[in-house]
Amino acid sequence: MLEILIATNNLGKVKEIKDILDSPEIKILTMKDFPHLPKIEEDGKTYQENAFKKARKISEYTGKICLADDSGLEIDYLKGKPGIYSSRWGNSDEERINKVLKLLENIPKNKRNAKFVCVAILVFPDGKIYTVKEECKGSIEFKPKGEHGFGYDPIFLVPEYDKTFAELGDKIKNQISHRGKAMRRMINIINELVVNE
C-alpha cells in the first residue's frame, strides 16, 4: 500500500482529491497529520512551479510521497487572469467571485469563455517526479448559482450540462473537472507503481 500525503490546506481540494483517489491500494494522509509543517510560499510563475515546490518541500520535510496540485481559472476576456493568482484574488470565495463578476459586468455571453487548468505533481522522497496537466472549458455565469463545491464553482458554467460546477454536485464535477481528470490520470500512474513495487 502506498501512503500519499496531499500537500494542501484547502479542505475543499482535500475532499475532492480523496474522493477521486479512493482506492484500497492507497492510504491518504493530509497536512493535519503533520501539524508542524512549514508554510510554503507559492511564488512560482507557473502552475507547475507552484505544485512542484509544494510537493518537493513537504516530501523533504516528512519523508512521504507527496501529491500537490496548482490550479486556476483563466478567463479569455481578462487575458487569462486570474490564472495562477486565482486563490489570491481576494480574502474569500465570495470576494473573488464578486471581483470576477464586476470585471465582466455588461460583457455578453459569447465573450465570457474561460477554462480551469490543473497541474498535479507526485513527488517521491527518492526524487522521482510524475506530472500531469488537464483543463476544463466553460464560461462565466452572470451570477453565482448552486450550493456545492468551492472557489469559483458557482460562476463556472459547463456548456454540456448548462449548469455551474456548484449546481452539478461532486460526483459529476469530479468526472469532468480539470482536477478530476488530472487526478484520474494520477491514479493510473499510482496503480502502475503499486503493481511494479
Query: In a 3-state reduction of DSSP, which class is residue 154?
Result: helix
**Strand ordering across the sheet containing 2-6:** 26-30, 2-6, 65-75, 113-123, 129-140, 156-158, 163-164
Question: Burial, 128: exposed, middle or buried (Cβ in 10 Å; 0-12, 13-18, 19+)?
Answer: exposed
Instruction: Report how far residue 99's alpha carbon sits from residue 78's, in angstroms, rounded to the nearest whole number.
Output: 12
Q: Grid coordinates in use for 150?
A: 468551492
CA-angle at 195, arms to 189 and 196, nearest 5° = 90
Q: Considering 19, 43, 69, 70, which one is annotated as catalytic?
A: 70
* 70 in active site: yes
Residue for grid cell 477554462: 115
Distance in angstroms (rounded) separating the CA atoms of residues 77 and 95: 19
Q: Compute the distance between CA of residue 150 and CA of residue 144 in angstroms, rounded to an integer.
A: 12
Active centre residues (catalytic): 70
